[in-house]
């Protein structure tokens, strides 16, 4: 079903932002190696009037502009018609469910999604009712648009696709994968401005190293994230 990896369509007024941001490092490699597909759709291309209007003033008054239904819906419908599957349409919004490691894993394992980026003060609510299956937030703060959120979602998801990371262990060892934060990392030299590498990491004793890393991950989680620590024991 998932041959060629998941496909992500992104509906955005700034397709180049996404293309640029996802052209580097691990996401860039995932797309380059065709382990995932990225297809961009600009609502402006679907605006019917000569000025290619994509936003308008809000009913009820107030500052800011609202993205119009028609160009957004037409772009999403074009993206969906271009896919053979029924991938979910996900609107990036602070009102959505918060992205976490479990959500990222689910997206990496599925067929992909049509991600919709809003701009201005929001989008016409009827677009959400008619076209959106789920809303997804990257945190409790407001961005000026959905694009940085889509980049975050795609960065988090693409690296979880099998074959994207060189070492099969490296995603499994990440923060959150075991419900814990990451342990500390060190590389050469052994001493920097009086700060030394913990002895055990130089010992060559793989069991002792693994034990130390686990304990450090637990300690950090306990100290920094009581919420994760509590869940770890559930
Ligand atoms: N758009 C604006 N703010 C956002 C957020 N916090 N998460 C996802 N999309 C957004």
Please tell me whether residues 138 and 207 are part of one structural domain: no
The pLDDT, as a whole number, for residue 159 is: 96
Please tell me whether residues 142 and 193 are part of one structural domain: no
Of 110, 131, 158, the residue at which a domain comes to its end is: 158
Please tell me whether residues 150 and 207 are part of one structural domain: no
111 inside domain: yes
Please tell me whether residues 88 and 121 are part of one structural domain: yes
Residues tagged active-site: 94, 121, 159, 174
Query: For residue 234, is pLDDT > 90?
Result: no
Tokens for 176, please give them: 């959150």
CATH number at 36 reads 3.40.1280.10
The pLDDT, as a whole number, for residue 169 is: 59
Please tell me whether residues 137 and 226 are part of one structural domain: no
What does the H/E/C string look like for 113-144? EEEECCCCCEECHHHHHHHCCEEEECCCCCCC
Tokens for 100, please give them: 């976490």
* Residue range(s) defining the domain that contains residue 190: 173-232
> pLDDT tens digit string along 43-83?
999 999 999 999 999 999 999 999 999 999 999 999 999 99
Tokens for 165, please give them: 């990371």
Please tell me whether residues 84 and 112 are part of one structural domain: yes
Instruction: Read off the pTM.
Output: 0.94
DSSP-derived secondary structure letter, 102: H
Please tell me whether residues 79 and 152 are part of one structural domain: yes
84 inside domain: yes
Please tell me whether residues 11 and 110 are part of one structural domain: yes
Q: How many CB atoms lie within 10 A of CB 226?
A: 10
Q: What is the mean pLDDT of the chain?
A: 95
Q: Which of 10, 14, 90, 93 to mutate to test the pocket of ligand 1 (most atoms within 8 A of CB)?
A: 93
Nearest to 139 by CA among 194, 99, 81, 191: 99
Kindly give the distance from the C-alpha atom of residue 120 to the centroid of ligand 1, in angstroms, as a whole number.
12
The pLDDT, as a whole number, for residue 44 is: 98
Q: How many structural domains is the chain composed of?
A: 2
- Give me the mean pLDDT over the 82-87 stretch: 95
The pLDDT, as a whole number, for residue 168 is: 55
Please tell me whether residues 145 and 68 are part of one structural domain: yes
- Per-residue pLDDT band at 175 (split at 50, 70, 90): confident
CATH number at 225 reads 1.10.1270.20
Query: For residue 164, is pLDDT > 80?
Result: yes
- Give me the mean pLDDT over the 178-189 stretch: 96
The pLDDT, as a whole number, for residue 155 is: 98
Portion of the chain with pLDDT greater than 90, in percent? 90
The pLDDT, as a whole number, for residue 170 is: 75
163 inside domain: no
168 inside domain: no
29 inside domain: yes
Of 116, 131, 158, the residue at which a domain comes to its end is: 158
Q: How many CB atoms lie within 10 A of CB 78?
A: 16
Q: Which of 17, 92, 147 to mutate to test the pocket of ligand 1 (most atoms within 8 A of CB)?
A: 92
User: Do 96 and 136 meet the contact criterion of CB atoms below 8 Å apart?
Assistant: yes
- Per-residue pLDDT band at 3 (split at 50, 70, 90): low
Of 125, 158, 191, the residue at which a domain comes to its end is: 158
Kindly give the distance from the C-alpha atom of residue 91 to the centroid of ligand 1, in angstroms, as a whole number.
9
Please tell me whether residues 188 and 154 are part of one structural domain: no
The pLDDT, as a whole number, for residue 1 is: 40
DSSP-derived secondary structure letter, 181: P
* Ligand 1: residue whose CA is nearest its atom 2: 143
Please tell me whether residues 20 and 136 are part of one structural domain: yes
205 inside domain: yes
Portion of the chain with pLDDT greater than 70, in percent? 98
214 inside domain: yes
Q: How many CB atoms lie within 10 A of CB 186?
A: 13
> pLDDT tens digit string along 87-125?
999 999 999 999 999 999 999 999 999 999 998 789 999
165 inside domain: no
Cα(158)–Cα(22) distance, integer angstroms:
10
Tell me the CB-side half-sphere exposure of residue 147, using CA atoms within 13 A: 18
Nearest to 233 by CA among 184, 169, 178, 162: 178
Please tell me whether residues 14 and 94 are part of one structural domain: yes
């Amino acid at each position: 079903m998932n041959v060629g990896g998941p496909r992500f369509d992104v509906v955005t007024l700034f397709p180049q932002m996404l293309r640029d941001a996802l052209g580097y490092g691990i996401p860039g490699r995932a797309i380059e190696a065709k382990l995932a597909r990225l297809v961009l759709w600009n609502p402006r291309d679907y605006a019917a009037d000569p000025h290619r209007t994509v936003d308008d003033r809000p009913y009820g008054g107030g500052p800011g502009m609202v993205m119009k239904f028609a160009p957004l819906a037409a772009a999403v419908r074009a993206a969906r018609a271009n896919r053979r599957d029924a991938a979910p349409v996900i609107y990036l919004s602070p009102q959505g469910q918060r992205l976490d490691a479990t959500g990222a894993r689910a997206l990496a394992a599925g067929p992909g999604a049509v991600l919709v980026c809003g701009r201005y003060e929001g989008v016409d609510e009827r677009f959400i009712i008619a076209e959106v299956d789920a809303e997804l937030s990257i945190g409790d703060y407001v961005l000026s648009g959905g694009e940085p959120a889509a980049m975050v979602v795609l960065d988090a998801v693409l690296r979880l696709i099998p074959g994207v990371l060189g070492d099969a262990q490296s995603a499994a060892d990440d923060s959150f994968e075991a419900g814990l934060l990451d342990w500390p990392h060190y590389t050469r030299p052994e001493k920097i401005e009086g700060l030394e590498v913990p002895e055990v990491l130089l010992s060559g004793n793989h069991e002792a190293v693994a034990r130390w890393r686990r304990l450090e991950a637990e300690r950090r989680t306990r100290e920094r994230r009581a919420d994760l620590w509590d869940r770890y024991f559930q």
